[in-house]
Structure 1
Amino acid sequence: MRGKKFILIATAVIITALAVYFAPFGKTNLTTYIMDVKYDDTNKVISGLETVDFINTDDTVLNQLYLHLYPNAFKEKDKIPFTKEEVELAYPYGFKPGYIDIKNITFEGKKMASYKIEGESQQILRIQLPEKLSKGNRIKFTIDFKVQLPPATGRFGYGEKTVQVANWYPILSVYDKKGWNNDPYYALGDPFYSDVSNYNVKLTVPRNMVVASTGMVKDEKIYNNQKTIMINAENVRDFAMVMSPDFKVAETDIDGIKVKSYYFNDEYGTKALKFAKDAVKFYNEFIGKYPYKQYSVVQSDFYLGGMEYPNLVMISKSLYTKNNIFNLEYVIAHETAHQWWYGIVGNNEVKEAWLDEGLTEYTTIMYIERYYGKAAAESLYNYIISGEFNKYIKVNKDESMIKTLGQFKGWNEYTNIVYNKGAMVFHQLRGLIGEKKFKEVMNKYYDEYKYKNATTEDFIDVVDSVTGKDTGGFFQEWLN
């Protein structure tokens, strides 16, 4: 995100039919989410079924599974994931709850599952497995659920013109070397951590609704006043949508990738398309080829700059103006870089937010350098990154970068440490190892951790392998 400036047998038949419709997938060792959901625009409710075909890829034998229920973070006014300063911006027309109801869960469409909803604000779903699941084995379970969207102009909710549907369905927690990652939806940063999976989504909406989403539309049919869209998304970390009956859409092509702009104003919607195309072109060249067929930039009722999701980014509608044209370009360049750093190469955004945000912010500076020259990039870097951090550090002693989102005291601290100091690490590294080696690091990091989750240690190992030197001291000094 960039915003510092700115049941049952019948069910089994339905799900099986969807699976057959979309098969085959590119990777058979991935977990698959198959959804059949309907959006009620009058009541702002999404309801339907989600079947999860889960494969255990870890060495540990699992007795239970954990899934995030992020919508429940929006259920109680005194627990919503916004700072006090943000509440009026996020809820311009007052608070109403958002949440997710779990109606039932079945295994293979037949056996009722034993489950419990727990954790902070009931954000975690724990499912007891009918038998132990060892590495390489799979299990399918179906969740019947309903989501109530809140009147919130953030990632999850709706405003005057758009409906933001992100972090909205039950999604598996990541199981890694430290066990299950069941962190709550923090108010600061991007509190998400997920594995790459495959998605098949059958979405029913009002016939006049235009939908921008993760993945590719495979089919679309209209029945009376409704429209059914079949969407396929392979090798992605999440599935998000933005909807509006008023969207205009423009598209172009770069390197065989369809780039789309969803907007309301022709002049700035087409400018957004150009910025997105330029960003994809540069990142393809500098980092590595974007592996998906489509990427969308979506003007949204989003109050805080921009937000990244696989194949799709939300951009605040407030940036689509003459006075904000540079901010629009910068935010689009930043969010597009997130397609590489977070989308393709993942990391734990709760515990190591600097790794994707710092790298994304510095990659954005390199975008400026590519299209506006080194002098402009250096000036911008000195002004909004190192300059802002130096102001911050004069009055703040804590500059440690390796800490969880819950340990940050506010947006000022988070922004300066995660974005600004994070970008400074990569700027200094580039100066230390030189242009050629820096590009080699970016290429190797991307190639080795594509579709995986990387850690700070993984990145340092890549730097050391490229340079043939031990750079641990350099990183220790900066990170700690």
Structure 2
Amino acid sequence: MRGKKYIWSVILVIVIALLIYFAPVKNSNLTSYNMDIKYSDENKTIIGTETVDFINTDDVKLGEIYLHLYPNAFKDKDNVPFTKEEIGLAYPNGFKPGYIEINKITFDKNVPATYSIDKKTGEILKILLPKKLDKGDRIKFTINFKVQIPPSQGRFGYGKNTVQVTNFYPILSVYDQNGWNNDPYYTLGDPFYSDVSNYTVSLMVPKDMVVASTGVIKSEKSHGNDDALTIDAPNVRDFALVLSPKFKVAEEDVDGIKVKSYYFDEDVGLKALKYASDAIRFYNSYIGKYPYKQYSVAESDFYMGGMEYPNLVFITKDLYTKDNLFNLEYVIAHETAHQWWYGAVGNNEVKEAWLDEGLTEYTTIMYIERYYGKATADAVFKSIISGEFYKFSKANKDDAMVKTLGQFKDWNDYTNIVYNKGAMVFSELRGLIGDEKFKEVLNRYYNQYKYKNATTQNLIDVVDSVTGKDTGGFFAEWLD
């Protein structure tokens, strides 16, 4: 009898531990999105609703709110967010529009909302609130919408093997010291800026469709010809999916984090899993523990190299070859670093893109140093970042780093200034303050601004607090 009681006690402990482990750690003071959506592979559409429980966290009364409708950036061929040189890569099988239709918006008790959509771009949704919200006040509203996914091999679209379902739903603009940030979907860079929120998603997909997702899939049930999934994603600043019926999946536990690789070729897919696991392991030890339960890397019909979303990145299928393993590793290490710099610690990627990209690029160099040694890291830094082609004049205003995406000339200009010059700033800072202080800066910056949006000034303040010195002059020389 004692033996049976002991066994049941052990089972109970295990069950409780599993419940705690998989339970999302939600902050009730965050805005939440509750989505109920269905994907049709035949029509490449998503139909559904989202209920937003919005909380005003600012010291102003709000009488209206704004949301981005990013899919409408893909509606008109002449205005899609690609350069002329990219159109053929983005639409290899010809252009078809992508867009989002807003069918209905209601407040509690099915009260119709008064709303309008920006006529010039169709990318901004304005909703008038029935009463002004003070700081700390909440209001719920529900949006019925339909999304048409385009045949684009960019962030939002589909190719032969995968469907990238990203930036597809109405998402709140950020209200900060500058007011509402209703920037357009710029052609260059990552034109996104969002607050951390809680997401609960009910998703219907065709049977046998494999889903790589932000958050954790909590349940999966069969409903006729469809599969119904429930996904929890607490404390994230966006929600994204990559879908494919052809995905193979491998996973590994790293420091209690489930790292997953979605791929088509097993040899390279397992290499991708190793690179992602190595990156998580190093960044955990150097920056601070990854704050989520799962991280996924997905091979995708995506021509742009790699792209980061919370808990999920997708990597171009062109890198999944044995001849491209170093480039694959570098891109995975870079996109994984974005889980810290963008994912956990956010920033305005429209106005201060250098803050996450420059730090992410230099963190990637530190990954190379960790696993291949300093000599290799220095060689990679010189060849990729600080070579002759990337020399900058600190006095040249065209090289200013803190500016809006629309002020960059082209992709080459953006890459050189935001990625390469940005990485050079952190390399110089490390040399100036030493390895120990540099690590302390990253630790403190991460822990102080996790789940928040940081600014360049916030970073400078952290450096000053760690070093006990005024480093404003150092940053001004590089950035302004």
TM-based fold match above 0.5: yes
Amino acid at match of 2:249: V
CA distance, structure 2, for counterparts of residue 191 and residue 52 of structure 1: 22
TM-score, structure 2 as length reference: 0.94
Question: 1:392 touches 1:416 (CA, 8 Å); kept in 2?
Answer: no
Deviations 1:17-60 (A, max 9, x none): xxxxx998621100000000000100000000000000001010
Amino acid at match of 1:234: P
Give secondary structure in 1 for the equivalent of 2:202: strand
Check 1:316–1:109 CA distance in 2 against 1; reply closer, same or farther (3 A cut).
farther
CA distance, structure 2, for counterparts of residue 228 and residue 58 of structure 1: 37
Amino acid at match of 2:216: M
The match for 2:11 is: none
CA distance, structure 1, for counterparts of residue 389 and residue 197 of structure 2: 37
Deviations 1:150-186 (A, max 9, x none): 0000110000000000000000000000000000100
CA distance, structure 1, for counterparts of residue 349 and residue 267 of structure 2: 35
Q: Tell me the CA shift for residue 224 of structure 1.
A: 1.5
Give secondary structure in 2 for the equivalent of 1:231: strand
Check 1:138–1:92 CA distance in 2 against 1; reply closer, same or farther (3 A cut).
same
Deviations 1:108-128 (A, max 9, x none): 151000000006421000000
Give secondary structure in 1 for the equivalent of 2:386: helix
The match for 1:327 is: 327
The match for 2:454 is: 454
The match for 2:30 is: 30
Check 1:412–1:133 CA distance in 2 against 1; reply closer, same or farther (3 A cut).
same
User: Which stretches in structure 2 are left out of the alignment for 5+ residues?
Assistant: 1-21
Aligned length: 458
Question: 1:389 touches 1:417 (CA, 8 Å); kept in 2?
Answer: no
Q: Tell me the CA shift for residue 387 of structure 1.
A: 0.6
The match for 2:347 is: 347
Check if 1:69 corresponds to 2:72.
Answer: no
After the TM superposition, which residues 40-59 of structure 1 pair with which residues of structure 2 at under 5 Å, given as runs?
A: 40-59=40-59
TM-score, structure 1 as length reference: 0.94
CA distance, structure 2, for counterparts of residue 435 and residue 475 of structure 1: 18
CA distance, structure 2, for counterparts of residue 46 and residue 85 of structure 1: 29
Check 1:120–1:225 CA distance in 2 against 1; reply closer, same or farther (3 A cut).
same
Give secondary structure in 1 for the equivalent of 2:420: helix
Check if 1:442 corresponds to 2:442.
Answer: yes
The match for 1:221 is: 221
Check 1:388–1:414 CA distance in 2 against 1; reply closer, same or farther (3 A cut).
farther
Deviations 1:172-206 (A, max 9, x none): 00000000000010010000000000000000000
CA distance, structure 2, for counterparts of residue 84 and residue 69 of structure 1: 23
Give secondary structure in 2 for the equivalent of 1:122: coil
Check if 1:125 corresponds to 2:120.
Answer: no
Check 1:35–1:308 CA distance in 2 against 1; reply closer, same or farther (3 A cut).
same
CA distance, structure 2, for counterparts of residue 213 and residue 339 of structure 1: 14
The match for 2:413 is: 413
Check 1:205–1:114 CA distance in 2 against 1; reply closer, same or farther (3 A cut).
same
CA distance, structure 2, for counterparts of residue 354 and residue 463 of structure 1: 16
The farther-off stretch of 455-464 and 320-329 is 320-329
Q: Tell me the CA shift for residue 390 of structure 1.
A: 3.1
Give secondary structure in 2 for the equivalent of 1:83: coil
User: Which stretches in structure 1 are left out of the alignment for 5+ residues?
Assistant: 1-21
CA distance, structure 2, for counterparts of residue 79 and residue 393 of structure 1: 34
Question: 2:35 touches 2:51 (CA, 8 Å); kept in 1?
Answer: yes
Question: 1:276 touches 1:336 (CA, 8 Å); kept in 2?
Answer: yes
The match for 2:108 is: 108
Deviations 1:289-347 (A, max 9, x none): 00100000000000010000000001000000011110000000000000000000000
Q: Percent sequence identity over matched residues?
A: 72
The match for 2:471 is: 471
Question: 2:175 touches 2:181 (CA, 8 Å); kept in 1?
Answer: yes
The match for 1:142 is: 142
The match for 1:259 is: 259
Give secondary structure in 1 for the equivalent of 2:399: coil
Check 1:119–1:75 CA distance in 2 against 1; reply closer, same or farther (3 A cut).
same
Amino acid at match of 1:361: E
The match for 2:7 is: none
Q: Tell me the CA shift for residue 235 of structure 1.
A: 0.2
